[in-house]
């Protein structure tokens, strides 16, 4: 895995390099632009045959040529440096994306583990509910409250008491946000959670 810190350092280095090249280009442009001003004080004396003036002009000419060559090289180097910066920025974005993906997988696996605990709790609840319902039917069968049999049947099933005993979340949100959702009949939560986050197949098998 590419380290995000390494890519950030490379991007900073590339940007610093480009700033240096642009500063050097500006400096060489000043040298080239000032060529006539530097030569002007010596051209008349050199035309009259002054050896010192000629030597100075020759020196200035070499400096001007060197500045022009350096400027041309820097202008060629700048697009290459900018291309390197783009490549470094692309690598940084790729590293950031890779890091986020790894964190997403880590969190998704942790959520599947939590879902597996919910599945276990639901399985235990189903078993307890079956026992609870069976005892309720037995109580109804031995009840002597015949005038109120309908009332008794509605309350011995325990659904209203169960509804009142349920924790507020997530059942309140299920009722109000997803009132038409499917109740039961689906895959265990750990399996559907693994599929939702597109975890590797081996993770899905472990969730089963």
Tens digits of residue pLDDT in 22-66:
999 999 999 899 988 888 898 898 899 989 989 998 999 999 999
Q: Phi-psi bin for 181: left (phi > 0), alpha (psi -120 to 50), beta?
A: beta
Query: Is 54 in the same domain as 124?
Result: no
The band of 207, judged by pLDDT with boundaries at 50, 70 and 90, is low
Query: Is 16 in the same domain as 89?
Result: yes
Which of 59, 83, 105 marks a domain boundary?
105
Query: Is 97 in the same domain as 154?
Result: no
Query: Is 119 in the same domain as 100?
Result: no
Say which residue, 15 or 138, is predicted with more confidence: 15
pLDDT tens across 105-140, in order?
999 999 999 999 999 999 999 999 999 988 888 887
Q: Phi-psi bin for 134: left (phi > 0), alpha (psi -120 to 50), beta?
A: alpha
Least confident of 7-11, 139-143, 163-167: 139-143
Tokens of 122: 């639901």
CB 108 within 8 A of CB 192: no
Give the chain's domain count. Answer: 2
Identify the three-state secondary structure at position 182. coil
> pTM above the 0.85 mark?
no
The band of 178, judged by pLDDT with boundaries at 50, 70 and 90, is confident
pLDDT at 158: 80
Distance CA 120, CA 179 (A): 25
Query: Is 189 in the same domain as 152?
Result: yes
Q: Is the pLDDT of residue 163 over 90?
A: no
Domain containing 56 equals: 4-105
Which of 105, 128, 154 marks a domain boundary?
105
Query: Is 194 in the same domain as 154?
Result: yes
Query: Is 14 in the same domain as 82?
Result: yes
Phi, psi values for residue 108, rounded to 5°: -65, -40
Which of 105, 123, 158 marks a domain boundary?
105
Q: Is the pLDDT of residue 174 over 70?
A: yes
Query: Is 138 in the same domain as 87?
Result: no
Query: Is 202 in the same domain as 161?
Result: yes
């Amino acid at each position: 895995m590419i380290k995000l810190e390494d890519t950030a350092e490379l991007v900073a280095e590339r940007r610093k390099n480009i700033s240096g090249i642009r500063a050097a280009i500006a400096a060489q442009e000043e040298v080239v632009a000032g060529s006539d001003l530097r030569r002007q004080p010596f051209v008349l004396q050199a035309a009259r045959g002054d050896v010192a003036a000629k030597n100075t002009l020759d020196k200035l000419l070499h400096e001007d040529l060197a500045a022009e060559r350096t400027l041309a090289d820097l202008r060629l180097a700048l697009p290459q440096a900018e291309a390197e910066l783009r490549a470094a920025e692309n690598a940084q974005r790729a590293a950031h994306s890779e890091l986020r993906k790894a964190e997403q997988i880590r969190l998704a696996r942790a959520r599947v583990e939590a879902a597996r605990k919910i599945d276990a709790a639901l399985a235990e609840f189903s078993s307890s509910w079956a026992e609870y319902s069976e005892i309720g039917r037995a109580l109804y069968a031995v009840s002597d409250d015949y005038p109120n049999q309908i009332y008794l049947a509605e309350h011995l099933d325990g659904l209203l008491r169960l509804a009142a005993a349920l924790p507020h979340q997530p059942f309140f949100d299920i009722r109000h946000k997803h009132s038409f959702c499917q109740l039961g009949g689906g895959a265990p939560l750990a399996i559907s959670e693994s599929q939702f986050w597109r975890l590797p197949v081996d993770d899905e098998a472990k969730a089963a």
